[in-house]
């Protein structure tokens, strides 16, 4: 792999990461000759280390280096936020786990020595598929579009009432589901909400969509895995006058109306994650599930 000399530092500002820890990390990177930059929205947050930052990322490749990557300080949620912030900019992401589980992070706190591998070109990248969702109204007009790394979730509102809806794949009716909702997860998202709802764990290197019902009211309603280029659709949503929502990656919501239709397909966008450790997904899975 080519070496990476430009790093965009993206901290999770809600985790109260000690300034001393960030300064120590920056010192380590500067000693190795890396140029470290920051997103415009984090310039004030990292003002205590302004003298150690070389650039503000504007979406273009910085001169004087063969590669640019994002270094995310946080957990899986922080990486999801970074994937949306950098969408379409072809910037790979390396996560340092300041969270809880960290299926997507590439290293843990206290493993800063592994960062040397970036400048030495001793790392691997993993391409993670994303999903697009489009909500159209009864009149055929688009009401919202979303791109996700983890999942699209159809869910009931604050009052937990049963939802009935049809699920179709490539135009073919799969089932009329009665449940609290449905999760449409990427392989990356299979270890998130879908796993908690009883869905299977998918190897993130495959191209597939996992559809997992949330508390189904029929014994025959079970998780189903569809091929990655499937076009999935939810329509005929009936909620007995209760509110129904679409949630995208746990960060965006849209209240659904009567007659709305949701179409979900593979996105043209993807997220590239950096691995600096030996081993692969199965090693991470074993380590994380045994914690």
Q: Which residues, listed in sequence order, are joined to residue 177 by a DSSP beta bridge? A: 165
Q: Read off φ and ψ for residue 41, nearest 5 degrees.
A: -75, -10
- Segment holding 28, helix H or strand E: helix 19-31
The alpha-carbon radius of gyration of the chain (Å, integer) is 21
Choosing from 44, 51, 58, 76, the catalytic residue is: 76
Q: Are 32 and 52 spatial neighbours (Cβ–Cβ below 8 Å)?
A: no
Compute CA distances 113 → 12, 151, 274, whole Å: 21, 33, 15
The answer to whether 22 touches 83, Cβ cutoff 8 Å, is no
Q: Which helix (H) or strand (E) holds 54?
A: none
Active site includes 76? yes
* Terminal-to-terminal C-alpha distance of the chain: 32
Q: Give the residue numbers marked as catalytic.
A: 76
């Amino acid at each position: 792999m080519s070496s990476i000399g430009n790093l965009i530092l993206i901290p999770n500002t809600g985790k109260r990461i000690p300034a001393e820890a960030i300064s120590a990390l920056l010192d380590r990177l500067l000693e190795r000759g890396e140029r470290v930059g920051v997103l415009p929205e984090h310039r004030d947050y990292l003002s205590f280390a302004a003298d150690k930052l070389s650039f503000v990322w504007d979406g273009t490749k910085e001169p004087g280096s063969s590669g640019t990557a994002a270094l995310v300080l946080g957990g899986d949620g922080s990486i999801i936020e970074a994937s949306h912030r950098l969408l379409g900019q072809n910037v790979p992401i390396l996560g340092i786990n300041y969270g809880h589980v960290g299926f997507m992070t590439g290293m843990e706190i206290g493993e800063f020595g592994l960062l040397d591998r970036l400048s030495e070109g001793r790392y691997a990248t993993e391409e993670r598929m994303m999903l697009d969702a489009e909500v159209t109204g009864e009149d055929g007009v688009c009401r919202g579009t979303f791109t996700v790394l983890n999942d699209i979730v159809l869910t009931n509102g604050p009052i937990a009432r049963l939802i009935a809806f049809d699920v179709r794949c490539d135009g073919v009716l799969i089932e009329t589901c009665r449940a609290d909702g449905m999760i449409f997860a990427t392989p990356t998202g299979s270890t998130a909400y879908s796993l908690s709802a009883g869905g299977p764990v998918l190897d993130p290197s495959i191209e597939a969509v996992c559809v997992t019902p949330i508390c189904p009211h029929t014994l025959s309603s079970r998780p189903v895995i569809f091929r990655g280029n499937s076009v999935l659709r939810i329509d005929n949503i009936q909620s007995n006058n209760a509110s129904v929502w679409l949630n995208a990656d746990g960060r965006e919501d849209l209240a659904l109306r009567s007659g709305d239709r949701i179409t979900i397909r593979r996105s043209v966008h993807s997220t590239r994650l950096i691995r600096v450790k030996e081993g692969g997904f199965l090693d991470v899975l074993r380590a994380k599930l045994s914690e």
